[in-house]
Every structure is written in structure tokens, then in C-alpha cells.
Amino acid sequence: MRDPLPSRPVALSIAGSDSGGGAGIQADLRSFAFFEVFGTTAITAITAQNPREVTAVQAIGPDIVRRQIAAVRAAFTVGAAKTGMLFDAEIIGAVAAELGPRPPFPLVVDPVMVATSGARLLREDAVHALVSRLFPLAAVVTPNLPEAEILVGHAIRGVTGAMAAAAGLAQRFGTAILLKGGHLEGDRVYDILATPTQTVRLVSPRVSAPTTHGTGCSLSAAIAAGLARGSDLQPAVIAAKAYVHAALEACVAVGPGVWAMANPATLPVDAVRLEF
């Protein structure tokens, strides 16, 4: 009798396209592939960008975004999904409507608001839609420090302030919050994982990399990959942080003075320490 064909878990990225390949769905698909998860996509926007700047953004019609999600779900057994750049309230509404009030798989919401270059990737009037429509569906929300400051409405100072902010957001929204600490100063990077009942710190050495473009997309996609493989949230976050740490160490030159993260050969989970 013929052996059954091999199978793989499936993850869905609902995000924008980065023409430079460093972030967006391109980074998400690299993360999925590293964790041996089959990647599917629903593209929300097309950007003209490279690691230095975003020169144009064209949103995809909300109905087409919704139909992409529906087409994927009709054929694939989606184990987890992530959202990235959603751009406006209409797209957010379409995504929320298609996922439904209780998605049958965990959802990672990366609240992409502003590019590293300063370009606005989420309209200011869409923040409320993101918080009210998608946060309630999320297994985890992954803001960086500037995004967390928008959500809490004030500046966040140091690791202690980040812990308080993450815990407050977890209580406010009733879901897990991973506050990414790459913008904090110091030779170690503290990411804060908070649930309504517990707050922990994930610590790793800071990598002196020539670029950090795409770190947020890669991290949230790696978390979704872990969840699609059946991992619990905390180990999925630890593996994702280790992946980004190693991808920064594996940066490659791709043009004159232009660098990009690359998939590492191994996953250095020992580089991440959990502190309660």
C-alpha cells in the first residue's frame, strides 16, 4: 500500500506587499517556510518601497480582500492567521467580517501603523476600527513601542514602563499583548508578553545588525507559524523571538549599502531567556 502523502500545517497572512521583499507578506512567507508551514495570503495593499523608504501605497478593494480570505478558507485547513498592514477602516471591516466573531483558528494581530521610514501605513481614523473590530478576535496583539504608545496614549519609559503598558493593554482588551522592545535602549532586547493574569519578560542579546527592516512582520508571522503547528502561545513567542534574533545575525547584502534579513540555518532558542 502506498504511504500517505505528507501534510503540512497552513498559515494565512493578511497583509500588504513590500516590493523590496524585506517586510510584509514577503517576510511572512519566509517565516512560514522556515517553520515548515505552508503559507497563504490575502493582500491588503501594494506598496512601492525598499528598506529606506515607502514611495507609494495602493490599497486593495475591501471586497477583493474579503474574497481572498474566503478563497483560502474554502480550500485550506488554516491553522492560524496573522494580520499586518491593513491601511484603512474599510479593509479592517472586511477582514473582521470574513473571519467572523469567533475565528476557528488563532489570530495574531500586528497593529502596523507607521513604517520605520516614517510613512503612515494605517490611516489615523482606522485605529479605532482596528481596536474595536480585530483586537477582540486576537489570540495575541504585537505592538512595537511607538504603536503601544499610540494605544496607551502616553510615552513609555524603560522596561518597567513597557511592562506596565503591556499589562494594562492586556487587561483593557482581554487578550495577550506582546510589546516588542526593540526601540528600548540597552544591550539586551526585552519583549514583554502580558495576559490578563500574567506578565513575563523575554530577554535576548541585542544584535548589531545593518538593518531591522521586517522584524515586526517576521516575528508576528513566526508566532502564527508556531500556533499553526499546535504550539501554545508562550513557546510560540519564544521560538519566534529566537527566529528574528537569528535572522538579524544572518543579514545579507542585497545592494549597494542595502541589507536584508535572511532565514538562519538553525533556531537558537537558548538565546532567549524567560523572566517572571
Per-residue pLDDT reduced to its tens digit, 144-158: 999 999 999 999 999
Rg (CA), the chain: 18
* Catalytic entry in 21, 47, 217, 226: 217
- Residues in Cβ contact with 235 at an 8 Å cutoff, skipping those fewer than 6 apart: 226
Per-residue pLDDT reduced to its tens digit, 40-79: 999 999 999 998 889 999 999 999 999 999 999 999 999 9
> Phi-psi category of 187—alpha, beta or left, where left has phi over 0 and alpha has psi -120 to 50?
alpha
- The CATH number that domain 10-142+209-275 falls under is 3.40.1190.20
Contact 243, 31 (CB under 8 A): yes
The pLDDT of residue 116: 63
* Catalytic entry in 83, 142, 195, 212: 212
> Catalytic: 241?
no
- Residues in Cβ contact with 247 at an 8 Å cutoff, skipping those fewer than 6 apart: 215, 218, 261, 262, 263, 264
Contact 66, 92 (CB under 8 A): no
* Catalytic entry in 180, 181, 195, 199: 180
> Catalytic: 214?
yes
Confidence band, pLDDT 50/70/90 cuts, at residue 125? confident
Annotated domain spans of the chain: 10-142+209-275
* Catalytic entry in 16, 39, 214, 226: 214
* Catalytic entry in 22, 83, 215, 241: 215
- Residue 44 exposure: Cα atoms within 13 Å on the Cβ side: 25
